[in-house]
Amino acid sequence: MSAPVEAVLDEEGPPIEVRGLLSRFGANVVHDGLDLVIPRGQVVGVVGGSGSGKSVLLNTIIGLRQPQAGTVKIFGQDISSAKRRQWTAIERRWGVLFQRGALWSNLTVRENVAAPLLEHTRMSKVEIGELADLKIALAGLPADAGALKPAELSGGMIKRAALARALALDPELLFLDEPTSGLDPISAAAFDTLIDELSHGLRLTVFMITHDLDSLYEITDQVAVIADKKVVAMAPVRELEAFDHPWIQSYFHGARGRAASGVSELRTAGKRG
């Protein structure tokens, strides 16, 4: 009798391990020998210039596109050789928040959040509805938001509804694609606080693509920098400030970088005081 699929997944190693990734669109090479390992239990920000392939990397990791070379392992499983049951086991352990939410416009928030539960569990409709309401509350939405359609939501509410859906299956691994883009500074800061609280409270590993320097300084454990078709550095954000790579220097020591760094220092000093 064969072992259950879950037994082949690594419970101790890194949730994400990318080695030697080659991503190409025709003659345009986006990644060439990219390596990236995301440690368990950390919030890792992924940054890079326009066209550096951040979203291509995310889509490759979650299986939406095939690389030209290299390996991607999720919980120790090479996704290129994963069987259907193995994919199902992996997908139950991650959640994805896409940049624009990607909510189904014809469904209510409650129905959007319930969709993964309907697909991946055998719970009753009553249980699914109750759990969907719980996830909606966990994402910081009011109870009456569950009955609304995406067109009736503000930008911040769309992000929170998409987060509630990403959390529906109690994932260990959470992918966030520009989670604060399009939000005003107050809403963005509130969303950062929510992610920080959830990542610690639920012991999540978070892969977060972002341009938001405030997010990088406030909630990440490490930041991976994509440049020159590779990950050229990965370190806590304060350590990255000292790297001499030209893109890192321009990004973290430009006006916006200095402002975010200064605000973060003030907040840290305030907490100590």
Q: How far apart are the first and last CA of the chain?
A: 61
pLDDT of residue 264: 57
The set of residues, in sequence order, having a beta carbon less than 8 Å from that of 49 and lying 6+ positions away, is 227, 247
> Is 70 exceeded by the pLDDT of residue 84?
yes
Grade residue 8 by pLDDT with cuts at 50, 70 and 90: low
Query: Cα–Cα–Cα angle for 110, 103, 48, nearest 5°?
Result: 135
CB atoms within 10 A of CB 65: 14
Percent of the chain with pLDDT over 90: 59
Domains of the chain: 39-63+84-272 (3.40.50.300)
> Is 50 exceeded by the pLDDT of residue 7?
no
Query: Over the stretch 233-265, which tens digit does the pLDDT of each residue have?
Result: 999 999 999 999 999 999 988 766 555 655 555
Query: Over the stretch 122-145, which tens digit does the pLDDT of each residue have?
Result: 889 999 999 999 999 989 899 899
pLDDT of residue 253: 85
Helices (H), 101-235: 109-120, 125-138, 155-166, 185-201, 213-219
Residue 12 has phi, psi (to 5 degrees) of -115, -30
> Is 70 exceeded by the pLDDT of residue 267?
no
pLDDT of residue 270: 52
> Is 60 exceeded by the pLDDT of residue 108?
yes
CB atoms within 10 A of CB 58: 21
pLDDT of residue 113: 94
**Span 63-80, mean pLDDT?**
91
> Is 90 exceeded by the pLDDT of residue 176?
yes
Query: Over the stretch 186-224, which tens digit does the pLDDT of each residue have?
Result: 889 999 999 999 999 989 999 999 989 999 999 999 999
> Is 70 exceeded by the pLDDT of residue 53?
yes
Query: Cα–Cα–Cα angle for 228, 240, 259, nearest 5°?
Result: 110
> Is 60 exceeded by the pLDDT of residue 94?
yes
